[in-house]
Amino acid sequence: MRELTVKETAQRLLECESAHILIHRRPDGDCTGSGFALMYALRSMGRKARVLCSDEIPEKFHFLMPEVETLEEFHPEMIISADIADEQLFGENLTEYEGRVDLCIDHHISNTGYAKELCLDGNAAAACQVAYEVIREMGIPFTREIAMCLYTGIATDTGCFMHDNAKARTFEIVSEIMTMYPDIPYADINRRMFTIKSIGRLRLEGLLAEQIESFADGRFTVITITKELMEKYGIAESDFEGLAGFPLQVEGAEVGAVIKEREGGECRISLRSAGDMNVSLICQSFGGGGHKRAAGCSIYASPQETKQLIIDAVLKGFEQA
Amino acid sequence: MRELTVKETAQRLLECESAHILIHRRPDGDCTGSGFALMYALRSMGRKARVLCSDEIPEKFHFLMPEVETLEEFHPEMIISADIADEQLFGENLTEYEGRVDLCIDHHISNTGYAKELCLDGNAAAACQVAYEVIREMGIPFTREIAMCLYTGIATDTGCFMHDNAKARTFEIVSEIMTMYPDIPYADINRRMFTIKSIGRLRLEGLLAEQIESFADGRFTVITITKELMEKYGIAESDFEGLAGFPLQVEGAEVGAVIKEREGGECRISLRSAGDMNVSLICQSFGGGGHKRAAGCSIYASPQETKQLIIDAVLKGFEQA
């Protein structure tokens, strides 16, 4: 694997006659945005390019895709991947591309270096931020489609500029995009990406809010979801995606836990920290793991017993700090 | 009233020996941020300055204030107002300043021109954006306190860069602030401003989510809160602040209504539009008013009857469109 500069990467794309652009399974705004932005950039030069994804692209990102796809099948000269840190993220329908990626454009410092050439900026908020630098360097017209794709990827990967990956250059790039295209409906895009929820999701959040319990003077908040509750409200485990941080919304909470009862006497625990406590140590003590501020583990006990074990462990952690 | 340029405004502040800086009642992040930023700017030059507010500043904004206030009382040479569009917003404890403001720094196009001199930019996302331009123009050191104040005001007034008042210059300013102070904990500020809620507020949102009803194939969503429900859950009408848009979170919703039962047979309706429907026309037909996308009215009927009247009016609106 060879690391490329933005300039070298731009040169590769300027010379590329045709490409398949891979994005990761379970596609999000950033891989969709960077994949399609690169596709539009190549097509704007009359080259053949197509985005491939193992999973269907969610409807909320369809506005980034061509309304009608007229390009016929072609044999690509080059295989490009966007926002994919690891070949394991290709997904089951793209395994044929393993070991075959010519150029990867990414922002994950964890990138495994599976591609022949890699354009990586670990400080970039999003793959779309790297793609922006590359497309600017190419010197081709920066179309409205490209602008929408890159804005959307940057906005989604930063949680609408809320997370600490949104840095000076990130804001500067958005300013440049908005200067070029002041009339793109950015606020409408944000609303679609961040505010709008299915009524089921909204009701689930309501249910979670009702179940919150506070311990240690509110420093630890816990939500326990029993099988009974999930059946009563028709909730699947997949519905909980992205909700592990929910208990940390509460004022004063430093650590939050979501405990979900599973089949076979298992309880799955997601722990999140907003402060100094290293929750991966607590999860490790139960055979799990993770990072300082986000970790998980399983305990084979009733929800009530599991909750007590976690409360004891977190309270002990507060005492030791 | 005379309108000042940014340059003239900077000159006024450079010449100002002492000032009382007024911010509006029920202070938010923008008036607090712009008021204290101007105060820090004057103090950094050894001048006397103090921020005055009719109401107590909420604890979430206390990090923008000096930890200890050591400045003694003084008679100000100049009265400045920040982010106040109208003298009516001074609040009951600052009425003595009516007719006495020398300089107003604001971004509301609705500013009534009550001050002797006015620095207004109706295109700015926040008063903090105008204050940024003025303080840069002053050419004084841009301190960390000033940076935190201005960032916070810009972030809060744009809903963390989600609304359509966040434009190219807004992003550029944040980029400039972050370049000067990359180590300010922007993400922690965002979390405090946008994510953290009281447990009561979270439970109220949960309750609202449970009450959502959909009409017109999901294009119209309604939440009805009866007196009985408010008593049962101990909710005050003031708890609903900022929740009029709640029903519009639902996927597919174009118009949303929150109906609250009040004393004396009144129901108060807040209507919001995310699309083309002009909800102020509907509210006008019931004796209320507002803007195209945000309006309100009262109906003297039971919650059930009120709901039916509003449903009929909105459905008629959809048909006419």
Q: How many domains in chain A?
A: 2
Distance CA B222, CA B213 (A): 5
Query: How many residues in total does chain B contain?
Result: 321
Instruction: Examine the domain organization and report whether B170 and B274 are in the same domain.
Output: no
Instruction: Examine the domain organization and report whether B190 and B246 are in the same domain.
Output: no
Instruction: Examine the domain organization and report whether A142 and A284 are in the same domain.
Output: no
Instruction: Annotate A37-92 with three-state secondary structure.
Output: HHHHHHHHCCCEEEEECCCCCCHHHHHHCCCCCCCCCCCCCEEEEECCCCHHHHCH
Buried b (16+ CB within 10 A) or exposed e, B255-291: bbbbbbbeeeeebbbbbbbbeebbbbebbeebebebe
Residue of A154, A160, A167, A171 to mutate, interface with B, max B Cβ within 10 Å: A171
Task: Check if the beta carbon of residue A116 is closer than 8 Å to that of residue A95.
Answer: no
Confidence category of residue A201, pLDDT binned at 50, 70, 90: confident
pLDDT of residue A235: 81
B73: DSSP letter: P
User: How far does the CA of residue B240 sit from the closest CA of chain A (Å)?
Assistant: 16
Chain B, nearest residue to A169 by Cα: B175
> Rounded to two decimals, what is the model's pTM?
0.90
Distance CA A257, CA A245 (A): 8
Task: Check if the beta carbon of residue B234 is closer than 8 Å to that of residue B201.
Answer: no
Task: Look at strands B18-23 and B48-52 and give their pairing.
Answer: parallel
pLDDT of residue A275: 84
Q: Which of A194, A219, A249 is the last residue of a domain?
A: A194
Provide long-range contacts, Cβ within 8 A and 24+ apart, for A103-106: A103/A4, A103/A9, A103/A12, A103/A78, A103/A79, A104/A80, A105/A9, A105/A34, A105/A38, A105/A80, A105/A81, A105/A130, A105/A131, A105/A134, A106/A81, A106/A82, A106/A130
Q: Report the mean per-residue pLDDT for chain A.
A: 95
CATH number of the domain to which A125 belongs: 3.90.1640.10
pLDDT of residue B238: 75
Q: Check pLDDT > 80 for residue A238.
A: no
Confidence category of residue A269, pLDDT binned at 50, 70, 90: very high
pLDDT, mean of residues B137-150 = 98
Residue of B158, B208, B243, B250 to mutate, interface with A, max A Cβ within 10 Å: B250
Contacts of A199 in chain B (CB under 8 A): 212, 214, 218, 250-251
Q: What are the pLDDT digits (tens) for B266-317?
A: 999 999 998 889 999 999 999 998 888 899 999 999 999 999 999 999 999 9
Chain B, nearest residue to A213 by Cα: B199
Q: Check pLDDT > 90 for residue B241.
A: no
Q: Check pLDDT > 90 for residue A187.
A: yes
pLDDT of residue B290: 87
Distance CA B237, CA B224 (A): 13
Query: How many residues in total does chain A contain?
Result: 321
Place of tokens 């007034």: B157
Q: Which of A179, A194, A209 is the last residue of a domain?
A: A194
Q: Check pLDDT > 90 for residue A98.
A: yes
CATH number of the domain to which B244 belongs: 3.10.310.30
Cβ-defined contact of A167 to B187 (cutoff 8 Å) = no
Task: Check if the beta carbon of residue B221 is closer than 8 Å to that of residue B253.
Answer: yes
What does the radius of gyration of chain A's CA atoms come to, in whole angstroms?
22
Confidence category of residue A321, pLDDT binned at 50, 70, 90: confident
Task: Check if the beta carbon of residue A178 is closer than 8 Å to that of residue B123.
Answer: no
Task: Check if the beta carbon of residue B80 is closer than 8 Å to that of residue B103.
Answer: yes
Three-class SS state of B49: strand
pLDDT of residue B182: 98
pLDDT, mean of residues B200-229 = 91
Q: Check pLDDT > 90 for residue A239.
A: no
Complex ipTM value:
0.89
User: How far does the CA of residue A244 sit from the closest CA of chain B (Å)?
Assistant: 14
pLDDT of residue B6: 98
- Domain holding A214, by residue range, is 199-320
Instruction: Examine the domain organization and report whether A83 and A157 are in the same domain.
Output: yes
Instruction: Examine the domain organization and report whether B166 and B203 are in the same domain.
Output: no
Give B68 or B129, the one with higher predicted confidence.
Answer: B129
Contacts of A171 (CB under 8 A, 6+ apart): A161, B171, B172, B174, B175, B178
Q: What are the pLDDT digits (tens) for B251-271?
A: 999 999 999 999 999 999 999
Interfacial residues of B (vs A; Cβ cutoff 8 Å):
160-164, 166-172, 174-176, 178-179, 182, 185-187, 190-191, 194-199, 202-203, 205-210, 212, 214, 218, 248-251, 274
The Cβ of residue B35 has, within 10 Å, a number of other Cβ atoms equal to 34
Task: Return the percentage of chain B with pLDDT > 90, whole number.
Answer: 84
Distance CA A184, CA B83 (A): 28
Instruction: Examine the domain organization and report whether A8 and A126 are in the same domain.
Output: yes
Distance CA B191, CA A123 (A): 21
Q: Check pLDDT > 90 for residue A112.
A: yes
Cβ-defined contact of B202 to A191 (cutoff 8 Å) = no
Q: Which of A194, A218, A240 is the last residue of a domain?
A: A194
Cβ-defined contact of A167 to B190 (cutoff 8 Å) = no
Task: Check if the beta carbon of residue B87 is closer than 8 Å to that of residue B114.
Answer: yes
Which amino acid makes up residue B175? S
Q: What are the pLDDT digits (tens) for A277-290?
A: 999 999 999 999 88
Top-ranked range on mean pLDDT: pick from A170-184, B196-210, B235-249: A170-184
Cβ-defined contact of B250 to A198 (cutoff 8 Å) = yes
Instruction: Examine the domain organization and report whether A139 and A153 are in the same domain.
Output: yes
pLDDT, mean of residues B98-107 = 98
Confidence category of residue A237, pLDDT binned at 50, 70, 90: confident
Instruction: Examine the domain organization and report whether B172 and B277 are in the same domain.
Output: no
Instruction: Examine the domain organization and report whether A123 and A172 are in the same domain.
Output: yes
Residue of B62, B129, B154, B160 to mutate, interface with A, max A Cβ within 10 Å: B160
Confidence category of residue B202, pLDDT binned at 50, 70, 90: confident
pLDDT of residue A174: 98
Contacts of B175 in chain A (CB under 8 A): 168-172, 175
Instruction: Examine the domain organization and report whether B188 and B208 are in the same domain.
Output: no
Instruction: Examine the domain organization and report whether B38 and B141 are in the same domain.
Output: yes
Q: Check pLDDT > 80 for residue A186.
A: yes
Contacts of A202 in chain B (CB under 8 A): 209, 212, 249-250
The two counts, helices (H) then strands (E), for chain A are: 10, 12
Cβ-defined contact of A182 to B167 (cutoff 8 Å) = yes
Instruction: Examine the domain organization and report whether A134 and A30 are in the same domain.
Output: yes
Confidence category of residue B159, pLDDT binned at 50, 70, 90: very high
> Which two tokens mark A63?
């506005």
Residue of A249, A254, A293 to mutate, interface with B, max B Cβ within 10 Å: A249
Q: Report the mean per-residue pLDDT for chain B.
A: 95
